[in-house]
Structure 1
Amino acid sequence: MKVVVFGATGKAGRTIALNLLAAGHDVTAFARDPAHFSARTYPGLRLLQGDALNAADVAAAVAGQDAVVVSLGDSTNPVVLKFGARFGVKRSTVPNICELGTQNIISAMQAASVKRLICISSYGVGDTRDQLSTVYRLWFQALQLAEQLADKEQQERLVKQSGLDWTLVQPVGLTDGAATGRWLASTTGGRRKRTVSRVDLADFVAQILSSGQYGGETVVLSQLTISERDFVPQTA
């Protein structure tokens, strides 16, 4: 399958792109600075420089694809975003990159008749907004994540209204941990542990891309607890 991954040099996007490549897909990694990848290190990976805020760049990337994975976001530490300006720290992108970039992607997909869209969002947004525990709410407040979550809210709204074959994936806290192959994929907002590895997220994306599961659904992804370690991928 021909797949383009937007936000491919972020931690999650990069892991997803390389995982799809390893699974045998024809992968295009779209990013403003694709220099993080090496064609010699990852043979077969197509690197495409472009800006998600540029409609022409996005349209060129989407044309001819079978599916699109969106993993946009601002990788800058949120505390730095809040206090860094006084020290000359500049943000790496606009505050509503998810909303604006996803709007361009959806428009390009509609124009090119590309239907399958998998969008990486965040737990605590949209369908799961009211399911955040007190601990999560305090954690988000402490990290000053209101701006990022508001951007994700608008992104999810656009995806749901797109008319595409979409799936919104809401991982809980992402880590650099190893693949476990053990997770709960819940369409009812349920979760287990408060973290899940980016590799498990990438594996999940590859699975639903191949299977076509979860069309028109929001899926919360979390790692199973130790007591459930003998059970592999579950749904709820």
Structure 2
Amino acid sequence: MKVVVFGANGRTGRAVLLTLLAEGHQVTAFARDPAKLPEWPGHDFAKIRGDALNPADVAPAVAGQDAVIVCLGDSSNPVLVRLGMKRSTARNICEAGTANIVDAMQDAGVKRLICVTAYGMADTRRKLSPAFRAWHFAMQLDAQLADKERQERIVRASDLDWTLVRPVGLTDGAFTGRWLASATGERRKRTISRVDLARFIVDTLTGGGNLHEAIVVSGLTIKQAFPND
């Protein structure tokens, strides 16, 4: 399958990229600085330098693909930005970047889209714990989540074969092969490793499931995964 990954230089994007390559897919990595992408011996992939905010960069990256995976995110530290540090990413990167991607997909006739957002969107917001809400407020993350809320609305309004993936807190932990994927907003652990999330995303892509669904993905302990053992 020919797949382009937007946000390929982020930690989630890299995990998705490597998982796709390990399965033999023909992958294109879209990033502002492709020179920073790692090299994996035995795995060749195309690299496109571009800005998701520029439709002229996005359109050729989408043309001819079978599917698109969006892992865009705001890499700016919200606390440091509040203290006056220059932003490293546009405030509306998820909304505006995804709008350009959706437009390019519709123009090119590419239908399959998987878009990574976050737990706490829409109907899952009321499920956030008071402790998380307090931490979220203290870290000034409202703007980032608002951007992802608008991103989700753009995806839902499209006529694409979309899946929204809402992971809980992401870690750089090892692959476990254990997770709960819920279309009703259920979750187990408050975290999941990026490599487990990437495995779920690629399985969803190749399996063709979860169309027009928003899936919360959370980690499982061994006891939760094997309750009868």
Tell me which interval the TM-score lies in, with the shorter structure as reference length: over 0.9
Aligned residue in 1 for 2:102: 106
| 1:49 corresponding residue in structure 2 | 49
> For residues 80 and 199 of structure 1, what CA distance do their matches in structure 2 show?
28
**2-structure distance, mates of 1:13, 1:19:** 10
Q: Is the 8 A contact 2:21 2:43 kept in 1?
A: no
Counterpart of 1:122 in structure 2 is: 118
Q: Distance in 1 between matches of 2:42 and 2:115?
A: 24
Percent same amino acid among aligned pairs?
61
Question: Following TM superposition, by how much is the alpha carbon of 1:14 offset from its aligned partner in structure 2, in angstroms?
Answer: 1.1
Q: Give the Cα separation in 2 of the matches to 1:179 and 1:81.
A: 33
Aligned to 1:31: 31
Indicate if the aligned counterparts of 1:23 and 1:206 stay in contact, CA closer than 8 A. no
Contact 1:127 1:218 in 2 (8 A): no
* Aligned twin of 2:143: 147
Give the Cα–Cα distance (whole angstroms) in 2 for the partners of residues 65 and 127 of structure 1: 32
Which residue of structure 1 lines up, in the alignment, with residue 65 of structure 2? 65
Structure 1 residue 78: Cα displacement = 2.2
Q: Which residue of 1 aligns with 2:182?
A: 186
| Between 101-110 and 119-128, the greater mean CA deviation after superposition | 119-128
Aligned residues: 227
Structure 2 gaps of 5+ residues are none
User: In the TM superposition, what is the alpha-carbon distance from 1:229 to its structure 2 partner?
Assistant: 3.7
Residue 55 of structure 1 aligns with an amino acid whose one-letter code is P
Cα displacement (A) at 1:226: 3.9
Are residues 145 and 203 of structure 1, via their aligned partners in 2, closer, same or farther at CA, if it must alter by over 3 Å? same
TM-score (normalizing by structure 2): 0.95
* Aligned amino acid, residue 60 of structure 1: P
Structure-1-length-normalised TM-score: 0.93
Aligned to 1:234: none
How does 1:1-236 map onto structure 2 within 5 Å? 1-39=1-39, 41=41, 43-83=43-83, 85=84, 89-230=85-226
Greater displacement, 91-100 / 131-140: 131-140
